[in-house]
Amino acid sequence: MSLVELIAQADERGLAASGLACLDRCVPLLGGDDEVLRPLWANLVDGGDAGAWGALLDQARDRLGVADVMAAEDVEDEAALLVRRMLAAAPAVRSAPEARVWADACSVAALQVHRLLDLADDPDSVEARRTGRTEGMSPLVAAELRRQITVLELLAEHGTGGLRRALDVSTEGRRVLRAVVSRRARNA
């Protein structure tokens, strides 16, 4: 199944986890630590208070300084701006309709971030990648696409039981992106 199809079939928890995982993998571009989004992950478990989602988002936004820098002219880095917009666009209410729009936008933004960081990627559209056309895709973008699909499949197959493994997939992607960002900074 393509990424687009998986998003279309996901439930509210899977959609929230998908958007959160995309954001989590891109946090190194904002200088965030590995724990900054952990309360949001914890909110997705059985018994998590869906009503607390908005307050937890506000805390993450404050810690990452998202409210401080949102306009394109304020940020010199297009990839970081995409990540800030992902977090800024997160719905304050954790419900399927809002989460679906956010998860879809995060998917596109995360793939675009990876394309921006890997100039070897074929300039084919991100949307083509999400529907299954992967020829000419760089390893960095291909790995991000695989991670997005894996997170959605884990949640679809295992429900909340898949959250821990989805977080592990996201953590691995965050480490990879942190290494790319570090290498990019050394070469600048």
CB 109 within 8 A of CB 90: no
Summarised one tens digit per residue, pLDDT across range 141-160 is 889 999 999 999 999 999 99
Which residue stretches of the chain are H helix? 3-9, 12-26, 38-43, 53-64, 78-89, 96-117, 126-130, 139-158, 163-187
- Residue 32 binned pLDDT confidence (cut-offs 50, 70, 90): confident
- Top pLDDT among 117 and 152 is at 152
Q: DSSP alpha helices (H): ranges in 93-162?
A: 96-117, 126-130, 139-158
pLDDT digits (tens, 9 = 90+) for 57-114: 999 999 998 765 555 444 458 889 999 999 999 999 999 999 999 999 999 999 999 9
Threshold 0.85, pTM exceeds: yes
Q: Residue 72: what pLDDT?
A: 47
Residue type (1 letter), 75: V
